[in-house]
Amino acid sequence: MQTLVAYVENKPGVLNRVSSLARRLAINIDSLTVGPTENEEIARMTIVAHTDERGAHRLEASLEKLVDVLLAENISTRALLERDLALIKVSADQQNRPHLMELIKVFRARVVDVAPESLIIEVSGTVDKIDGLLEVLRPFGVLEMARTGRISMTRGGDLLQPPAASPESPVSVEAESK
């Protein structure tokens, strides 16, 4: 599994270009999350792909060839912080509810909705942690689940920022060289 971060233009069709590229390279995407950055014109993607290092290089280099992709970087081998968020609706009756609450506490999850026959649990953390919680919830009856997919960030001073638009040269440097 390889993790890439990409900064892209925040406009319609870009997600399609990115996912279509992965399809063309026959790379299966495990998760792809996209959201705005502090600059509203730029969105940040975390792409988790089923491929090896060579496939990730090709995906990274091919992504950067797209006009709307400002930067793509394979961060798989770097020190990473990764987070996934899940909402899990699990069936809960009077009898098993206390047991359920115990488990939720252990996993540092939260109950965000309570109904007579079910609970919605919110949990965030690594993929493994959420998978672990899911495992123990399954016997109670998981009715519904929504997961965001992974977002990743390199730790500490290892910065991965979008390239700044320079007012003097609105044209990409690569394009200008010809």
Partner 1 sequence: MKLTGAEILCESLMRLGVREIFGYPGGAILPVYDALGKSKLHHVLVRHEQGATHMADGYARASGGIGVAMATSGPGATNMVTGIATAMLDSSPVVCITGQVSSKVLGTDAFQEIDITGITMPITKHNVVVSKAEDIARTMREAFLIAASGRPGPVLVDITKDAQQASAEFHWEACEPKLPPKRVRKNHDQAELDRAVEMLNTAKRPIILAGHGIMVSGAMRAFEQFVRAGNYPVAMTLLGIGCFPANDPLNLGMMGMHGEAWVNNAIQEADLLIAVGMRFDDRVTGDLRTYAKNARKIHVEIDRAEINKNVKVDAALVGDAREVLEQLTPHIATRDHSAWIGHITELKGDSAVRDIQSLPDSGHLYAAHVINDLWKETRGEAIIVTDVGQHQMWEAQYYHHNRPRTLITSGGLGTMGFALPAAIGAKFAKPNSEVWVVVGDGGFQMTMSELATIVQEKINIKIAIINNGYLGMVRQWQEFFYDKRYVATPLVAPDFAALANAFGIRGERITKRAEVVPTIRSARESAESVLIDFRVEQEDSVYPMVAAGSSLSDMIRRPNNPLVETATEP
- H or E element that contains 173: helix 173-176
Q: Environment class of residue 5 by beta-carbon count within 10 Å: exposed (0-12), middle (13-18) or buried (19+)?
A: buried
- H or E element that contains 43: strand 42-50
Measured CA to CA, the distance from residue 82 to residue 57 in angstroms comes to: 21
Stretch that binds partner 1, among 69-77, 98-106, 131-139, 141-149 (CB under 8 A): 69-77
Instruction: Choose, by CB under 8 A, the member of 31, 37, 62, 154 that binds partner 1.
Output: 62
Angle formed at CA 34 by CA 142 and CA 15, multiple of 5 degrees: 110
Instruction: Choose, by CB under 8 A, the member of 70, 100, 104, 123 that binds partner 1.
Output: 70
* Count of residues interacting with partner 1 (CB under 8 A): 34
Instruction: Choose, by CB under 8 A, the member of 1, 20, 99, 101 that binds partner 1.
Output: 20
Residue 115 as a binder of partner 1 (CB under 8 A): the answer is no
Residue 36 as a binder of partner 1 (CB under 8 A): the answer is no
Which residue, among 125, 118, 120, has the nearest Cα to 94 in the 3D structure?
118
Instruction: Choose, by CB under 8 A, the member of 61, 81, 101, 115 that binds partner 1.
Output: 61
Measured CA to CA, the distance from residue 9 to residue 7 in angstroms comes to: 7
Residue 159 as a binder of partner 1 (CB under 8 A): the answer is no
Q: 135 or 174: whose CB is closer to partner 1? A: 174
Given the rule CB under 8 A, which residues bind partner 1? 9, 13, 16-17, 20-21, 24, 54, 57-58, 61-62, 64-71, 162-166, 170-178
